[in-house]
Structure 1
Amino acid sequence: MTATQRLVLATGNAGKVKEFAQLLADYPLEVVPQSQFNVGDVSEDGTTFIENAIIKARHAAQITGLPAVADDSGIEVDALNGRPGIYSARYAGEGASAEANWQKLLVEMDGKTQRSARFQCVLVYMRHADDPSPVIAQASWEGSITEQPRGVEGHGYDPVFQVAGDSRSAAELTSDEKNAASHRGKAMALLLDGLKAKGIL
């Protein structure tokens, strides 16, 4: 890809847009959020992170005519049999705020001693809407659910996710620390490897 070629990011999440910009800053990619093309949200009716990421990437590529990258991510809590999972962004209802979602999670976790959890991230790159072989990368980030929110950085469930091997929550990490360790940072590294292997990057 050249510095002038654009790539549409299939998300309306401002926190994710910021993270992607930081993760791709060293590459010759101009990443443009789908909101700049008035691309609306698509129904995420898949049953897995991979299915939903493909749905979002295809939708953005179809409307914009550009290559698209989509992210589908969420948090899996062992004591809740993997919930919220693919429903993380709407756990407290359609259009719920991040705070409402993690508050619901804390209520559900009240009194539970098993608090292990992980973030999952799937990234999908599609050259065009009919791409038969999208590049797919998946990574996870282990941790546990805190009893109270901590920190003001990050987004989503970060304030209630204590990083494995660290005393801090994800919302207490700097953006550089988070990008180096997170599910999205690791998935992005895998995606970039996949793009290089295909000669796309």
Structure 2
Amino acid sequence: MSAEMKVCENNCKRKRLIRRLFSVFLAFLIIVLFIILLIWLILRPTMPQFTLQDVTMYQFNVTSPNFLTSNIQATVQSRNPNDRIGIYYDRLDIFASYRDQQITLPTLLLPTYEGHKDIDVWSPFISGTTVPIAPYLATSLNQDEYSGFVLINIKIAGKLRWKVGTWTSGHYRLNVNCPAFVRFGNPGSGDTIRVGSKFQLSQTCSTDV
């Protein structure tokens, strides 16, 4: 056998080996994707659903030059809509923001496990004393108060884990945003909010995992 034929035979063997390895890898990949699809079809994972039930305003005052003092109690409901997946809330911080600026300190919610179709309710106090805010935000907030309505966002940030049977996933970031329209005194009067004013909202929150 000539040297050229040996080289050609070796190249053919190498190509056949590469094709076989590629076929095995492709078959393995298809099986893995099929298993993932099958698990998804069986479990149908759905993100938790949060609802801002009400807020109670105990204090919300802008002081000169650009400071905000607030004391708010928010009642938030969490529901696990999954039939076969449990949720561990390992760490959740709740706070209030106004026009994307955080205006209270974060309050830690107690860690909990939420089983299939379970519901949990939290009613924490969130507050901030003489929190500095941008001058344009102070002007905007005074205008909103004068008009009679202020849009505050109650936000939750933290980590969760999914539980399926005995298997528990790693941590996933959770971000929840609950808009709350708070009504002040008579529009145009400039009245500050009454202490202990409670607003029933039942506002659906946006959730991102």
TM-score (ref. length: structure 2): 0.30
Report the structure number with the largest CA radius of gyration: 2
TM-score (ref. length: structure 1): 0.31
